[in-house]
Structure 1
Amino acid sequence: MSGLLCFLLCLVMVGLANSAKFDELFHPAWALDHFIYEGDVVKLKLDRYSGAGFASKSKYMFGKATILLKLVEGDSAGTVAAFYMSSDGPYHNEFDFEFLGNTTGEPYSVQTNLYINGIGNREQRLNLWFDPTKDFHSYSIFWNQRQVVFSVDETPIRVHTNMEHRGIPFPKGQAMGVYSSIWNADDWATQGGRVKTDWSHAPFIATYKSFEINACECPATVAEVDNAKRCSSGENKKYWWDEPTVSELSLHQSHQLMWVRAKHMVYDYCSDTARFSVMPAECVHHHH
């Protein structure tokens, strides 16, 4: 019994150690009156007047950001909830999760995208294999000098690999903030904009808890080039995100990703010949 007790206590300790309170890491970025606080839970509200969004207090370079999120229940057509990392400026880098609302009974789809040096157009879309409105699920972005990995409940759904050796730019030189928001996007979000937001179902609420950023914090006073050095392992410091075990997917993770792509992906920009007459360079070399 003592072994089990210890195990359970350890689980509790891990839970305490890992997740931070919302206001330790984040602050509301806009529409403060559309935030609802219930203990450790934060709710963002969308109505016909406004959505809402929050931002991390710090910027980071390399590591992992995770949130637990329960999406809008019922008819959420036209709405988008987003969880993303982004740097600043016209040549910014950005890693996006966008959860696209739906009419009741339709599968919830999640769109991922990457911007590199200000250029996006790298959308992938998949239908989630569970109902994300019924319970909290974890969504995370992991980033190091070798790859960017999007995960849902620790299952990788997308990997973007560093292929600088082939002359393809990789986002690694800019510190990034962590953000989330909910807004109305019925011009495109549901069935390409054919299904509009039904405001009689408002307010639409996205619910968050358990915020975790395990990453290299970058002071605003430090130059980008120095942050890149400071957040990379060297002789005197060894960061977990530079360990060989996270330089690429494990065999198990590769199989998970293949399952996601085979069973749940509904759109991949790399296959969109109508949009790209020449296949984007990274698609040619990505073997996933």
Structure 2
Amino acid sequence: MALMGSAFFTFTIAMVMFGFVSSAKFDELFQPYWAMDHFTYEGELVKMKLDNYSGAGFSSKSKYMFGKVTVQIKLVEGDSAGTVTAFYMSSDGPKHHEFDFEFLGNTSGEPYIVQTNVYVNGVGNREQRLNLWFDPTKDFHSYSILWNQRQVVFLVDETPIRVHTNLEHKGIPFPKDQSMGVYSSIWNADDWATQGGRVKTDWSHAPFVASYQGFVVDACECPTTTTAVDNAKRCSSSAEKRYWWDEPMMSELSLHQSHQLLWVKANHMVYDYCEDTARFQVIPVECQHHRH
């Protein structure tokens, strides 16, 4: 009986950590928000293309506060230099919060670079870049953002690649008071995306196509008519309602996840804003405390 109880507990932990929620159809959760003619639908598969006329983008139909969002993406194959494919969450307005995955295109044979960024109250400049440990153009891989009142975690195939911790007790603002939409887009950014803008987009290789499947949103949906304060209350655990993302074990990485993050940083990180002394004469305040 003890073994059965232990197994059940382990399974429950796994469900909490990885959010075993079945994926939804694209149009249940999302809608194109620009360049509808640059979308194609093949069953459960959605493709967006970039050509020399336009990029494309989609957005969630609802906004959310806390939870986990995941999408499986197969990135642009071949020479994708100058292109950016993004998957991100963002609120509205000049003081917006935002969590970014940006996949920076490359010339054939070079590794794809993933740039992550965190905006708080309209201020970003928190870029980290890493090379992936697989070819993201050959198969679908899952990219997730986990967000609760204690941390924001970026995950690739459930491996954490970045953590942004709540340091409000140090006087540092943390994004927890604005509902956020979920977005993806593909566009031309050859002024900066590949080797700092030195390699431009080769339009003879267009269209550049990013493919999507496996859409999962396991988060607290926020009605548009509800105030931010009320949404924050509604999407936090109370005596009446317990959310999995507020469980104590979700307040920080597990030991295994911490080891995974250390491995990513040691072997795959190529840029960290916290170490860019040329750009920041004074180290950004969160860098002094953060265990990103």
Q: Please indicate the TM-score interval, normalised by the length of the shorter structure.
A: over 0.9
Whole-Å Cα distance in 2 between the matches of residues 63 and 176 of structure 1?
Answer: 11
Deviations 1:215-249 (A, max 9, x none): 00000000000000000001111000000111100
Secondary structure class of the residue paired with 1:121: coil
Q: Is residue 283 from structure 1 mapped to residue 287 from structure 2 by the alignment?
A: yes
Q: Is the 8 A contact 2:21 2:218 kept in 1?
A: no
| Candidates 264, 268, 285, aligned match of 1:264 | 268
Q: Is residue 183 from structure 1 mapped to residue 187 from structure 2 by the alignment?
A: yes
Secondary structure class of the residue paired with 1:111: strand
**Structure-2 residue corresponding to 1:131:** 135
| Candidates 139, 143, 147, aligned match of 2:147 | 143
**Structure-2 residue corresponding to 1:116:** 120
**Structure-1 residue corresponding to 2:3:** none
Whole-Å Cα distance in 2 between the matches of residues 38 and 46 of structure 1?
Answer: 18
Whole-Å Cα distance in 2 between the matches of residues 171 and 165 of structure 1?
Answer: 14
**Structure-1 residue corresponding to 2:158:** 154
**Structure-1 residue corresponding to 2:248:** 244
Whole-Å Cα distance in 2 between the matches of residues 147 and 155 of structure 1?
Answer: 15
Q: 1:48 to 1:92 in 2, by over 3 A?
A: same
| Candidates 206, 210, 231, aligned match of 1:206 | 210
Q: What is the aligned-residue identity percentage? A: 79
Q: Is the 8 A contact 2:128 2:271 kept in 1?
A: yes
Which contiguous aligned blocks of 4+ residues in structure 1 show a shift greater than 3 angstroms?
Answer: 14-17
**Structure-2 residue corresponding to 1:4:** none
Q: Is residue 164 from structure 1 mapped to residue 168 from structure 2 by the alignment?
A: yes
Whole-Å Cα distance in 1 between the matches of residues 202 and 278 of structure 2?
Answer: 32
**Structure-2 residue corresponding to 1:7:** none
**Structure-2 residue corresponding to 1:194:** 198
Secondary structure class of the residue paired with 1:189: coil
Whole-Å Cα distance in 1 between the matches of residues 264 and 89 of structure 2?
Answer: 22
Q: Is the 8 A contact 2:38 2:50 kept in 1?
A: yes
Deviation of residue 287 (structure 1)?
Answer: 2.9
Q: Which runs of 5+ in 2 are unaligned?
A: 1-17
Structure 2 residue identity aligned to 1:27: Q
Q: Is residue 217 from structure 1 mapped to residue 221 from structure 2 by the alignment?
A: yes
Secondary structure class of the residue paired with 1:277: coil
Deviations 1:184-233 (A, max 9, x none): 00000000000000000000000000100000000000000000000000
Q: Is residue 105 from structure 1 mapped to residue 109 from structure 2 by the alignment?
A: yes
Secondary structure class of the residue paired with 1:183: strand
Secondary structure class of the residue paired with 2:124: coil
Q: Is the 8 A contact 2:21 2:216 kept in 1?
A: no
Structure 2 residue identity aligned to 1:259: W
Number of aligned residue pairs: 275
Please report the RMSD computed on the Cα atoms of aligned residues, expressed in angstroms.
Answer: 1.3
Map residues 29-40 of structure 1 onto 2, 5 A cutoff. Answer: 29-40=33-44
Q: Is residue 91 from structure 1 mapped to residue 95 from structure 2 by the alignment?
A: yes
Whole-Å Cα distance in 2 between the matches of residues 15 and 210 of structure 1?
Answer: 13
Structure 2 residue identity aligned to 1:83: F
Secondary structure class of the residue paired with 2:201: coil
Deviation of residue 16 (structure 1)?
Answer: 10
Q: 1:65 to 1:163 in 2, by over 3 A?
A: same
Deviation of residue 262 (structure 1)?
Answer: 0.4
Whole-Å Cα distance in 1 between the matches of residues 177 and 141 of structure 2?
Answer: 30
Secondary structure class of the residue paired with 1:210: strand
**Structure-2 residue corresponding to 1:60:** 64
